[in-house]
Structures are given as C-alpha cells and as structure tokens.
Structure 1
Amino acid sequence: MSGAEELAARLAEDQLEVLGGFAVSEAEAGFPPGTRTLLMLGPKEPGFWGHLTSQPEWDGAPDPVDRWSRRVIGRIACDLGAKALFPFGGPPYHPFYQWALRTGRVWDSPVRLLVHAGQGLMASFRAALALKEAVAVPPPGTKPCDACAAPCLTACPAGAISGAGYDVPRCHAFLDQPEGADCLSGGCLVRRACPVSQSYARLPEQSAYHMGQFHR
C-alpha cells in the first residue's frame, strides 16, 4: 500500500478525505516551517454526518464540529509529524479560499462560491495538513461549470446569490420569512441546484444544521 493509500485509509476511519493538495516550495511564506505539501481535508460521504453526530463533541456545547475537527485532525497530524491548519479560530485566518483554488480541483463558480470537482457547491473544508514530505496529491480536474447551464445563477428565491456575489443581509431577511423554510431545512437552494452537488451524498440534516448555525 502506498503512502497516499495509507493516508486515505487513515482519514476514512473518521469519514474524511483529501479534497485536493499542492506542493509548497521551501521559499514560500504563509506555511509552517518545512512544509513541502499541503493537503486539504473535507467530509467523506456517505457517512460523515452520522459519524460526526455520534462523537463525544456532540454534547450540546457550542462548536461541536470545530471541536471534533481539532481533536481528530490534530491527532492525525501528530501521528504524521504534520501540522493541522484550520479554517476557524481566527483572526487571523488561513487563506483557505486561495489554497482551494490552488489545488486545481476547486474553482470560483458563476455565483462566486467555491465549486469542487466531486462535491460541487457543497464543498467544505475541515482542515489542511501541512506535511514536511513531498507526497502525491489528487490530480487537477476539469471545471464542471464549463459544460453547465449554471442553474445556480437563478436558483436563489430571494435573489441574494447571483453572479454579482452574495448579499448576506438579503439572505438573512428571506430566511426570516415563511418562504425561507425550505432553505433552512434542506440547505441553500443555490448549492442544491448545482448538478455536481446533486450527485454528492450529503444529508439534508447536515445542511440544515449549518444553515441554522449561519442564521442564528
């Protein structure tokens, strides 16, 4: 079994997978000293949500997802002699958006949200692993938007997400109305409109949880 296969198997134990990665040169700033490879980790579906909600962090206290990420991915990083970097806990914050684009497997979508080769507009990152070894990373993909009719551009019933970007106050105002119930219970309609998102096995319960956290 190769190093990449061993890592994939280790991550799968906690329903995680490598969503992309890239090589880091010795002269680059913004990474832990000695970093040669950055791997970006996200949920492995199906099964992530059921696994996560069975963990001790799901105890009613705040930030269970972030606390779980710190414990689990922090332990994985220690086992590998790597450094775990998280998209929360700032400021300052690590530039996950720019890192994601650099993988060649994530792109800026027509609605400015990140779109992943396998997760579509449901893309989410739990952490990045900064490794001191040069390791193989998933190969670049083909941007799915290039051959897509872009239903995401017209899917938002409030007109809050469009090619012009994301009007967050307008989104919140819509979610306060009865008409916003579907977005809250099933997830953002724009994200759900993406054909790649529709083939990704993310449970509506997970989307509902994150929408509730966003709109609280």
Structure 2
Amino acid sequence: MPREEYQERLDELRDDVVRMGNVVSTRLQKTIAALETYDQSIATRIAETDHEINELYLDLEQDCIDLFALQQPVAGDLRFIAASFKIITDLERIADLAANLAASIRSAETGLFSEIAISDLAEITVEMLDDAIAAYAKDDAEACFAVAERDEDLDGRCERAAQQIIRTLVDETPSNDELELLLESVTSVLLTIRDLERIGDHAVNIAARTLYMVENDDALIY
C-alpha cells in the first residue's frame, strides 16, 4: 500500500476514535441527566443502544488489526495504532459503566442521599473524558498531565462522599421496615460513586496512552 494511502487510513482511524469518544461522552452525559431526574425512559434507551457501542468498538478493533497487517508500521505509527487500540477499549468500558449507572436509577430514586453531590462528581468525570479525547485528537501531551492531575481531585471527592454515606448509615436508627430501603440506597449510591471514579481512571488511561503515543513517554501508564 502506498504511504499516502496508508496515512489516510491512519487519519481515518484517529477521526473514528474521536467520534467513538464523542458518542460515549454523549451517552455518559445522558446517563447522568437521567440519574439527576430519575428518568427511567432515558435509562431504558441507554440499555437498548449498548450494542451500538460494542459494534463500533469491534469495527475499530478490526481497523487497528488491518493497519498492523497492511504495512509494517514505523515507530511513531506503531505507537499511534497501539494507543488507539487501547483507547477504544477504555471507551467501551466507560460505555459499560454508563450502563451500570443507568441501572442504578431505580434504587437512587428514594433520594435518601440527595445531599451527596453526585452531579459534581459526574461533571468532573465528563470533563476528564472530553479533555482526554481532545488531547488524543490534537496530540496534546500537556493536556494529558492535566487529566491525570484532575483524577487526584476526583479520587479525593469520591472518598469523602463514600465516607459521608457510611457515617449517615452508622448514625441512622431505622425501623425494620426502613432498613431494607436504607441498605438498598446505600449500596446504590456507593456503586454510583465507584463507577464514576472508574470512569475517571479510564479517562486517565486514555491520556496516558496519548502521552505515550505523542512523546514515547510512559510516565502516566500504570
């Protein structure tokens, strides 16, 4: 395959990965909106369209494999293709976590932990994901470090929110009838916090792969 045509295929891969990232980000934002309004209809639509993300992932996975096979990549191309392959895996997992969040809407509807700023945590994760995708699109190494720095703030916020929930549980003295509802709500909110934290971790993974792709620097990979 001529080099010019090969470069076009590489450019198309980048565009398609960015497109997948935008689709996943939109899906995540819709899930968060559903969480905030307890909208079951949105949650149902998210679950019904999960296969679309999986199909997109499989298509891009095949594109990466084809690019490896079509022409022996030079070092920079090799890092780009490998990073793209890893990034679509993280995006697919973020989509799965968004589906998990949607599934928790029913039990979150009790509102027993409305004082927990889930929306603030969610906003940070969306921003981290969008910034990581933009860094990949623009070969922006500096932005990769900024995403990683925000993850430290997110982890701290998630830990404090979880501790607040546990303190509330300890302080509560529910009746037998209320206990099951309380435990269900505790479990739901803790899982929501955990999933948001994991989405942040995947955003850092995207940034780490991008940094490696751009500068051959594995400082953020763990």
- The TM-score with structure 1 as length reference comes to 0.28
- The TM-score with structure 2 as length reference comes to 0.27
The structure with the larger Rg is 2
Q: Which has the higher contact order (CA 8 A, sep 6+)?
A: 2
